[in-house]
Amino acid sequence: MVKTIVAFIIVFGILVVVHEFGHFYFAKRSGILVREFSIGMGPKVFWTRKNGTLYTIRILPLGGYVRMAGAAEDEDDQLQPGTPISVMVGDSGKVTRINASDQTTLFNGIPVIVTESDLVDQLVIKGYENGDESVVKTYAVDHDATIIEKDGTEVLIAPRDVQFQSATLWHRILTNFAGPLNNFILAWLVFAIMGFAMGGVASNSNAISGVLTNTPAKSAGLKSGDRIVSVNDKRTNSWTAVTSAITSDTHGDITLGIKRGQKTVKHVKITPQVKTVSGSKTRTVGIKRGIDTGFFAKLFGGFWNTTVLLFAALGHLFTHFSLNDLGGPVAIYANTATATQAGWSGILYWLGFLSLNLGIVNLLPIPALDGGKLVLNVIEAIRRKPLSQQTEGVVTIIGFGFVLFLMILVTWNDIMRYFVH
């Protein structure tokens, strides 16, 4: 169990860091202020600041985020009238630190009751100093000042020129796409390493490389080298098509069209076995997949095969929706346990599979996901102006609510599948 937990944390951590680093890198290159780069969720256990970004590690090793100035997930720093704060004034006469938290104290800070503030455009704070309400003092705020927020997190303020929406549309598109792009790169790298380390990758040919004993395929007389050219009269030109056709037919016998060498196709009737794999029932016939040992197959084959598999699964999900075809953290943990039993190759494959999966899912046009943000970018390009922040905020909240509701359903279903029998 300890081994599984460690593997789960490592795999999940790598996925999050790689994905969020994509957003982080392109945001920085685009002149967008990244206020915080967090690994994990919940209370901070470690933090440091470098080049204007606060780097934090939080107590729950699940998820993470890049907080870009002015983006939908960024908090509003505007100080409401009546808010008690303390400020530190630098040698230039401008405010360099603002404390809006009651969890910490600024040494030599000036106490102020805010009457008005603008930390985006005018960079100014007005208020009563030391409780003296007879005079409203005005403080100019430095462009690179920091603010200690209510939870004690100290980040740079977010002036207009470094906000997400101030970047060009092209830079914002790149920044939104960069997370999934990094997941694709990681997946390709992992599958390429596995391809060369293992001497080849699974072939997507419809040819059988072998037949397992005591299986329906063995009983039906199938042999190594046979090609399955059809399942129930539906053409199958690839291994993906073969497995999809066998597993999608949920009951009864199936008829396989077999081509042996140059001989005419013959039809064989088989009754598949039903097995439980990763909490779901699936039909198998006992055939082995071939191995492709070519250079380009090793370099790109694993990535391509898994991409085809995931898109086939995604298509099946839209046409035959089932919560059993979805998986959340519980399913990831359960499958990590299975991958761990296969050693480093199992964990590597699982990392590549999840990374590719995460990249594809994040590009779905659902608000709150990267794909939803890219749709908003396209709408802006067509309209030649962005949606209002209010409209974008409402759309994002609806999308987030949908994703959260779906995750609750998926997690409950995963618990029932894997831990309740």
260/313 Cα distance (integer angstroms): 29
Report the half-sphere exposure of 212 (CA within 13 A, side-chain side).
11
Tokens of residue 124, six digits: 């100014």
CA angle 148, 150, 156 (to 5 degrees): 30
Residue type, 237: N
269/272 Cα distance (integer angstroms): 10
Q: How would you write 314-345 as a 3-class SS string?
A: HHHHHHCCCHHHCCCHHHHHHHHHHHHHCCHH
Contacts of 139 (CB under 8 A, 6+ apart): 87, 89, 94, 95, 112, 124, 125, 126, 127
Cβ-contact 187, 306 below 8 angstroms: yes
Tokens of residue 5, six digits: 């937990």
For residue 280, how many other CB atoms are within 10 A of its CB?
A: 14
Burial 291-312 (b: 16+ CB within 10 A, else e): ebeeeebbbbbbbbbbbbbbeb
Q: Catalytic residue, from 20, 73, 75, 149: name it.
A: 20
Instruction: State the DSSP H helix or E strand holding residue 7, giving kind and residue range, or none if neither.
Output: helix 2-29
204/217 Cα distance (integer angstroms): 19
For residue 404, how many other CB atoms are within 10 A of its CB?
A: 11
Cβ-contact 57, 39 below 8 angstroms: yes
Instruction: State the DSSP H helix or E strand holding residue 169, giving kind and residue range, or none if neither.
Output: helix 169-197
Residue type, 272: P
Report the half-sphere exposure of 213 (CA within 13 A, side-chain side).
0
Tokens of residue 26, six digits: 């392109």
Q: Measuring CA to CA, which residue among 411, 362, 351, 357 is closest to residue 9?
A: 351
392 is catalytic: no
67/27 Cα distance (integer angstroms): 10
- The residues assigned a catalytic role are 20
